[in-house]
């Protein structure tokens, strides 16, 4: 009986060590999953930022193009108005005579 008792006592620290190792492995697994999740989130945010940056560049280009077109149209309208008698300034003194 003393042999059975001593073998149980000897196995107890080994069991505790296995339990501790299992707990450490479980904790490491949780940390690894969390790191993986964070890495994936960072990568997704990077892709979103790249997409947004590309969109901003495209909008800037479109804005410059539209400004240029507006200037051309504005100049064209001014030229039409100056060439048209409808928009010419009238001299009220000459009309009275």
The pLDDT tens digits for 19-48 are 788 888 899 999 999 999 999 999 999 999
Asked, for residue 1, whether it belongs to a domain, the answer is: no
Asked, for residue 60, whether it belongs to a domain, the answer is: yes
pTM of the predicted model over 0.75: no
Asked, for residue 9, whether it belongs to a domain, the answer is: no
Q: Which residue has the tokens 């969390």?
A: 34
Q: 71 lies in which domain range?
A: 23-82
Q: Is 90 helix (H, G, I), strand (E, B) or coil?
A: coil
Asked, for residue 90, whether it belongs to a domain, the answer is: no
- Residue 9 pLDDT: 47
Asked, for residue 17, whether it belongs to a domain, the answer is: no
First to last CA, the chain: 141
Asked, for residue 11, whether it belongs to a domain, the answer is: no
- Residue 66 pLDDT: 98
Asked, for residue 45, whether it belongs to a domain, the answer is: yes
Q: Count of domains in the chain?
A: 1
Asked, for residue 47, whether it belongs to a domain, the answer is: yes
């Amino acid at each position: 009986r003393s042999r059975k008792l001593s073998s149980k006592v000897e196995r107890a620290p080994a069991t505790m060590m296995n339990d501790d190792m299992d707990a450490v492995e479980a904790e490491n697994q949780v940390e690894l999953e969390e790191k993986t999740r964070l890495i994936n989130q960072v990568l997704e945010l990077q892709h979103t930022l790249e997409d947004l940056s590309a969109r901003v560049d495209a909008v800037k280009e479109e804005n410059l193009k539209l400004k240029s077109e507006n200037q051309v149209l504005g100049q064209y309208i001014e030229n039409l108005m100056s060439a048209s008698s409808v928009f010419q300034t009238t001299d009220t003194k000459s009309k009275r005579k």
